[in-house]
Structures are given as structure tokens and as C-alpha cells.
Amino acid sequence: MGKETKTNAMRILERGKIPYRLNQYACQEFIDGVHIADQLGQRYDMSFKTIVTVGKSGNYFVFVLPVDKELNLKKAAKAAGEKNVELLPVKDINRVTGYIRGGCTPIGMKKQYPVIIHESALEHEEIIISGGRLGEQIFLSPQDLLTVTKGKTADIIQENIE
């Protein structure tokens, strides 16, 4: 039996002695985080996606928010201390982060970019993020995620207008 290959995220968590659980699942096609949460019977408010942006300064910023929410670019820019931020084009995700769309996690990117996690993460003992590869998830405490990414929390989501 072959040795399982760990992602950067898993190696970093283990090196830092940060407890986490790994969940592996079949993923033929990545649509979005909501689709994965539905497929696995997971709550949206505990399942977090990673979005990478580029600021007016040219610096990259990483935002982590519930899979069923949208990033508010104005709030995101304010939290990042930028005039404005734009979503990183999908074609640039691998070049900037080392990960692919659907397998992008805030832990272990090519460089340590500022990480801002939606404040709702703190309402949970454990949240779910990508494991760094399609078909892999990491379950860990939001506090541990903040520690390992040197992140901070802020209100960064678009409010539903009904």
C-alpha cells in the first residue's frame, strides 16, 4: 500500500502540532463549495471557501468565508487596508497560491499572504476548509486556523438584499 501524499497544508499543521481531521471524498468535478457541502451533507455555516484577491497595491489577500456567502469587495478592501480589491482570475490561482480552484486552502500557499476569516467562524468549535487538493477537507478549530495563518477576523460578506 502506497504512502499517502500530504498537502502543504497538512504538513504545516503537523509541524505546528495543530490538531486536525482529514476527510477524503470522491470529486469527479468541482462546481463550488455549496455543491460539495450538499454532496457530503455538511452545514454551509461550518464549510468555508477560500477566495484570493489582489489589492490596488498589487498585494494579494486571502479571504475565508462560508461557502454559501459572497465576498463584499468593499468590506474586504477595508479589512485588508486597501483602497479596493479585485478577485484573482481563476487562471492565476495556481501561479499565485500553488493550489488549484476547488483545492485552494489558506494554509501553505506559495507565500504567506494576509488572511482574513469571516467572523462567523468563531461561532463554531470546528470549521471545514479545503485540504489543499480536490477531494480533501480539513476540519480544525477556527482559532487554530487564525494561529497557523497569522490571520484576523472581520465582517467581509455581502448582506442578502431581499
**Interval 30-79: pLDDT, tens:** 678 888 888 889 999 999 999 999 999 999 999 999 999 999 999 999 99
Cα separation, 85 vs 62, whole angstroms = 11
Comparison of pLDDT for 25 and 83, the residue scoring more: 83
Cα separation, 34 vs 77, whole angstroms = 24
**Look-up of cell digits 454559501:** 68
> Candidates 3.40.50.150, 3.30.565.10, 3.90.960.10, 2.30.40.10; correct CATH number of 8-154?
3.90.960.10
Cβ distance 13 to 136 under 8 Å? no
Cα separation, 38 vs 109, whole angstroms = 27
* pLDDT at residue 161, as a whole number: 57
Cα separation, 90 vs 162, whole angstroms = 29
Helix (H) or strand (E) holding 87: strand 85-87
Q: Which pTM does this prediction carry?
A: 0.93
Contacts of 95 (CB under 8 A, 6+ apart): none
